[in-house]
Structure 1
Amino acid sequence: MSESRFADLLERVMGLSAASIGPGAIERAVDARRRETGLRDGDAYWALLQASSAEVQQLIEAVVVPETWFFRNPQAFRAMERDVLGPRLRADPQAGARLLSLPCSTGEEAYTMAMALMESGIEPHSFSIEAVDISQHAIDMARAGCYGRNSFRGHELAFRDRYFDARPHGWAVRDEVRAPVRFAQGNIFAPGFMAQAGVFDVIFCRNMLIYFDIPRQKQAIAVLRRLLAPDGTLFVGHSEAGLMREEGFVSAGMAMAFAFRRAPEAAALRAPAGPTATVVPPPRASLRAPVAKRPAALRVIERVRPTRPETTRSIAKTLDLAALRRMADDGRVEEAERGAQTYIRENGASPDALLLLGLISDAAGQGKAAAHYYRKVLYLDPGNVEALGHLALLLRREGDHAGARLIDERMRRQDGRRN
């Protein structure tokens, strides 16, 4: 059952590198599907895969484990609104903007893009969002638009009251948020993927490339380059920032947002957007495998202004933790870090202060420090879903897949107690 042929198949149809999700993940998925189909052994299941594109998709669904939530890594959404689209759309609402969420998972990212723009006063008719994922199950959940507590993490949840309606088993996205978002299944490696879609002003493609080997990464980046408008902005995960620089993109200079643009010579002339095209599902499979991440060796690439040590004490005294977190979002990372440390020295450790230090360390690629802070948060607040979520992602990124699964189970139990 652990034969490489199954891994080779998944790499061929969805680009998934087996090394990125741990040695046992594919074996467990294959075994689960074999038992589900009632077949006696791996050879029989392999034969079924050769004959059935539908079963290939079912195997993909078994491998894909979505892990996302609303306003995850909020710096990117804030930069999108404040520095990229907001000024243009407020000056000329008729100018319009096209956005792409790829992969979109169960829809939290795409809906967050819409909410972030609406929060700044931009009307939904001024923009459109295409959202694409390999998992049909994820797309179905995104279209249903009803979410449990695990999709709402952190303490700043006022947006939930503004854009969701309470339901017996969760919260349903309101129609005004749904209106500009269109979901479709699609495979970035399928021939002609979104060939008629034109270009996008903003693309969110966070934490997808880390699941591919180098040739597949280059292939996927070529597609992203084609889909990105010459003056557009591409947001990636912090573990992927170095790769984008290697592939000829330049930082957009938005602290902790990990935003990139084409090299200046490529952005001199904006290509026409062209008509919005429907994404036609490919015959075999489509695009997303969020289950694990390779270790992040990179540090924050957008440098921030240093703070003189003598000013740190006054910062911590005059700002609460929410303000320190906003300071980090604004790119004043070193000030926020020193302020949080001083806050802890003067007021004692608190889950919020430790979580802020964990997020700053995580974004800087300092995995050991981030894990240390996340675990301290959980010692003080065992049910802190934000710390649980970030720790699970960090463990996967560092190859501790067993530890990540334990955290996942803990989150599911926590979510069950809250619902």
Structure 2
Amino acid sequence: MSAQLHHGNHGLGNSAANAQVIEQIAAMLKQHMGLDVAAVGSSLIERGVRERMSQLAQNDIYGYLHTLQSGVGELQELIELVVVPETWFFRDREAILAVARLAREKIVRSPTANVRILSLPCSTGEEPYSIAMALLDVGVPAGQFRVDGIDICKRSLSIAQRSIYGRNSFRGKQLEYRERHFSVYDTTASALSEEVRRQVGFRHGNMLAGDFLVNEAPYDFIFCRNVLIYFDRDVQAQAVKVLERLLGQDGCIFVGPAEAGIMLRPHIESIGIPLTFGFRRKAVTVPKAEVMPALPSLAKPIAPAWMPTSAPVRERSKTAAPLPVARPAIEKIVMPAQDDLLTRARTCADRGELAEAEALCAQHLRAAGPNAGAYYLQGLINDARQDTATALQLYRKAIYLQPDHRDALLHLSGLLAAQGDVAGAQRLQQRAERAQLKQGNEEQPHV
């Protein structure tokens, strides 16, 4: 998510009557927007109510409750005070770069495809605009992708549509995108380019409303970060159902680090890209040949074209020639105990425990020696810390040990593109595509 809830320190008194009114108002907010007061504290509601009463020149909290109950207009005004934007460009850099890479791969596979992306809630626009910039920077044609930004706060949407941002929206060290996509508006603000603005559309919406995007086409990628944590368990389950309904069959949902446990369900799995906190539906498992019923009309069962690649060779026809086995990736040739260290490191990285993940990577390297997988994961960790120089070195180490390490090639390409080295980035992308084709050819004999 690109917003946070505003915590206030001002109450309305300690009387039991006032407390009961605050509870009623909290119940209204929860019913409308899912906000769980237990997760944020009653001072959040109290401060918003206090400010609205001051703006309306009301001294009686019961009078304000009556105003609130009279229509949705005042409830929306209170929501505007409860939710305060807290976001910046490329805040969730790993997830954004992963979407850019995955979107480009989809276009490469299907040149006429269109990529649909949802940012929910989009706050003041930094997240959806960052996604659009990332896709344009990796070469996804402008005519083949669209980003929809939806938020419950109308004031935030107004700022997003204006697309003029101050210094607080540009944080961290990796700001090369600012030179490519922004122009100077005045001494304190920058204006986003029309090229990026055209890729993003904004609208008001409430994901808990019964008619939310009911007629909308499925999305390939959905960003819903750091909002589920403000819901109780029942509302979280309701929100996840909404996200699944909006997600395309092969799509991905990206949530915040603290929300990964909410997404893990029997039919949902991690996409396996560290630090992205991305999830997708599990593929439907096809029964193996040995448990499939025999076909009485055939003398010998014929393996269908959709047989899983993991099907044992012994199940194939005895007259078929021996099939070659794909060469495993270099980083997987490690001892079980050492491999367990790297697995634990990836798990820690996915949870945002970067220091622990880095320590496990170092322990793995001491035990197993130079290893592309460990160097790649260390690169991701430093990438997340916005230590570009170190990340560049580690990605290059991984590629030196394994020249066809596709993920390292693509991440290094993204860093070079961010630094303005477009030619170098394109060369690495081409190498990554060749690596993907090579891996596909090696796996082909198993089909």
TM-score of Structure 1 vs Structure 2, range by shorter chain? 0.5 to 0.7
Contact 2:151 2:205 in 1 (8 A): yes
Match 1:110 to one of 110, 114, 128:
128
The answer on 1:221 being equivalent to 2:240 is: yes
Contact 1:233 1:259 in 2 (8 A): yes
**Deviates most, 236-245 or 90-99:** 90-99
1:399 corresponding residue in structure 2: none
Match 2:201 to one of 166, 182, 195:
182
Match 2:284 to one of 242, 249, 265:
265
Q: Deviations over 1:27-68 (max 9, x none)?
A: 000110011111121100000011121111000001011111
2:29 corresponding residue in structure 1: 10
1:78 corresponding residue in structure 2: 97
The answer on 1:161 being equivalent to 2:179 is: yes
Residues 1:196 and 1:266: Cα distance change in structure 2 (over 3 Å):
farther
Q: Structure 1 CA distance, aligned partners of 2:43 and 2:348?
A: 30
Q: Which residues of structure 1 form unaligned runs of 5+?
A: 268-297, 316-322, 341-419
Using the TM superposition, give the Cα deviation of residue 325 of structure 1 relative to its aligned residue in structure 2, in angstroms. Answer: 5.8
Q: Structure 2 CA distance, aligned partners of 1:191 and 1:310?
A: 52
The answer on 1:67 being equivalent to 2:77 is: no
Q: Structure 1 CA distance, aligned partners of 2:150 and 2:48?
A: 23
The answer on 1:47 being equivalent to 2:66 is: yes
Q: Structure 1 CA distance, aligned partners of 2:381 and 2:115?
A: 28
Q: Structure 1 CA distance, aligned partners of 2:205 and 2:255?
A: 19
Residues 1:142 and 1:111: Cα distance change in structure 2 (over 3 Å):
same
Match 2:160 to one of 136, 142, 146:
142
Residues 1:253 and 1:311: Cα distance change in structure 2 (over 3 Å):
same
Q: Deviations over 1:164-217 (max 9, x none)?
A: 111114111111101111100100111110000120000011111001001100
User: What is the TM-score with the length of structure 2 in the denominator?
Assistant: 0.62
Match 1:129 to one of 142, 147, 166:
147
Contact 1:199 1:229 in 2 (8 A): yes
Q: Structure 2 CA distance, aligned partners of 1:266 and 1:67?
A: 42
Residues 1:33 and 1:266: Cα distance change in structure 2 (over 3 Å):
farther
Contact 1:93 1:126 in 2 (8 A): no
Residues 1:87 and 1:108: Cα distance change in structure 2 (over 3 Å):
same
**Greater relative contact order: 1 or 2 (C-alpha under 8 angstroms, separation 6 or more)?**
1
Match 1:306 to one of 361, 377, 380:
361
Contact 1:90 1:122 in 2 (8 A): no
The answer on 1:193 being equivalent to 2:212 is: yes
User: What is the TM-score with the length of structure 1 in the denominator?
Assistant: 0.66
2:255 corresponding residue in structure 1: 236
Using the TM superposition, give the Cα deviation of residue 8 of structure 1 relative to its aligned residue in structure 2, in angstroms. Answer: 0.6
Match 1:26 to one of 40, 45, 53:
45
Secondary structure of 1:56's aligned partner: helix
Q: Structure 2 CA distance, aligned partners of 1:9 and 1:327?
A: 42
Secondary structure of 2:90's aligned partner: coil
Using the TM superposition, give the Cα deviation of residue 94 of structure 1 relative to its aligned residue in structure 2, in angstroms. Answer: 2.3
Q: Structure 1 CA distance, aligned partners of 2:124 and 2:285?
A: 33
Using the TM superposition, give the Cα deviation of residue 20 of structure 1 relative to its aligned residue in structure 2, in angstroms. Answer: 2.3
Q: Which residues of structure 2 form unaligned runs of 5+?
A: 1-17, 287-346, 352-356, 371-376, 395-447
Residues 1:310 and 1:112: Cα distance change in structure 2 (over 3 Å):
closer
| Aligned length, in residue pairs | 297
Q: Structure 1 CA distance, aligned partners of 2:86 and 2:252?
A: 24
Contact 1:255 1:330 in 2 (8 A): no
Contact 1:256 1:329 in 2 (8 A): no
RMSD: 3.0
Who wins on radius of gyration, i.e. which is larger? 2
Residues 1:330 and 1:81: Cα distance change in structure 2 (over 3 Å):
farther
Letter in 2 for 1:111: Y
